[in-house]
Structures are given as C-alpha cells and as structure tokens.
Chains A and B, each alone.
Chain A
Amino acid sequence: DAKTTQPTSMDCAEGRAANLPCNHSTISGNEYVYWYRQIHSQGPQYIIHGLKNNETNEMASLIITEDRKSSTLILPHATLRDTAVYYCIVRVNAGKSTFGDGTTLTVKP
C-alpha cells in the first residue's frame, strides 16, 4: 500500500480556498486517492476520490498530478464548518486502511 504524507496542520481564512496537499510517491497504478474528513470525533465523512483524472463534486475538487505521486484537495470557499481533520488515503481497497494522522485544518474568521 502506498504511504501518504500530509502536513500536520494548516490554517485558512474563511471564504478563501483551502488547498490540502498529500504526497503518495509510491502509489501504484490501480490505487485510488480518497479524501475523508472527521469533525470532532464524529464519523468520518466522504469528500471525494479519484484514480488519474481531476475530480470535482459539490464539496471539493481533487487535483492529481500527472505522475500521480501527489494530489491536492481544494475546498473552494472554506467556512468555519470545514474545520476538521482531513485524511488522504491511497489504496485499492481504502476500506482496509488505517487512516493515519491526517491534516488538521482550522478555518479562521
């Protein structure tokens, strides 16, 4: 399984875009990139996932580099409710993964 590296913490101003990076240099061709977030001990919430192409949904955008060794989750207009721990998971079957430490995103007024 590919190992992921995420910054421990990040701050973002309310209303601005939050860009959360994830490095996964050992990713293999059939491994997906998933993003989840967890708000204060609630159940993790699915955000987005992708294989090769960039993806966008109503919550966020996922940008995957051409060599697939890194990706960025973009929250286009962060709000205070986006304050959470964000997990990047890379695996064929993400369900079997241990989520790791993630990035604590703090959105400030």
Chain B
Amino acid sequence: DSGVTQTPKHLITATGQRVTLRCSPRSGDLSVYWYQQSLDQGLQFLIQYYNGEERAKGNILERFSAQQFPDLHSELNLSSLELGDSALYFCASSVSDRWGNTEAFFGQGTRLTVV
C-alpha cells in the first residue's frame, strides 16, 4: 500500500459526459501529479499541483482540469468525454515540489471507460 488513495477504482460513462476523479496523497505530501495511461502506452504526465497551486503542466487537454484543495486532496475533472479518453488515470504524491532526491508514490489508479 503506497498510501495514495484514488477513487473510484472503475468508472464507466458515456461520451459527452463529465467525470471527477479523486486523489488523496500520502500524509505529509504536498505535491500531487496526475498521469494518463492509455492502452499499451506509457504514462503521460498531465499536471502537477504543489500545496494548492498549479506547478507544472504536461499534455493535458483543455477539456481536462484539476485542482488541489486546502486539505491537499486533488480532483481531476474530465469533460466532454470522448472514446479516446478511456484510460487508466494515476495520481502520485511526493513531499517536495519536485522529485529530485525524493521518491514519489503512486495510487492504484482509476480505470475510465467511455462508451
């Protein structure tokens, strides 16, 4: 158990809908990272928050947004869903605003299926 909690574990929704994925970081970790892993592909970095503020952006679509709340949990909002958004979504957390010389821990992911 990494200490990072993601909910829900599975989500099935229709095209055009909007969903919210939730991530609770490890106790004491201030950074939350979101990743997308499509079928048979590597993890793509989406976005990072540190202590409530957006710190870095990767290949995140405009239809996707995220935020980190005062209690440090984070939510990833996916809207106007398309079939191609079906993927595993992982979050990770770390103590610092960058991994350098610290490790990050991943949750078990949310499997999103868009039908």
Query: Which residues on B are within 8 Å of A, measured CB to CB?
Result: 2, 4, 31, 33, 35, 37, 42-45, 48, 56, 58-59, 88, 90, 92, 94, 98-101, 103-109, 111
B15 to chain A, nearest CB (A): 23
Binds B, one of A8-16, A21-29, A37-45, A73-81: A37-45
Q: How many residues of A contact B (CB 8 A)?
A: 25
Among candidates A30, A41, A95, residue contacting B33 with C-beta atoms closer than 8 Å: A95
Q: How many angstroms between the C-alpha atoms of A102 and B40 in the bound complex?
A: 11
Main secondary structure of the interface of A (DSSP, over half): loop
Residues of A within 8 A of B90 (CB): 43-44
A100: Cβ under 8 A from any B Cβ: yes
Residue of A nearest to B35 (CB): A99
The 0/1 profile, CB within 8 Å of B marked 1, for residues 72-90 of chain A is 0000000000000001000
Q: Contacts A41-B111, A94-B104, A95-B48 given; 6 further ones with Cβ under 8 A?
A: A32-B99, A34-B99, A41-B37, A42-B109, A93-B99, A96-B45
Contact A46 B42 (CB under 8 A): no
Contact B98 A95 (CB under 8 A): yes
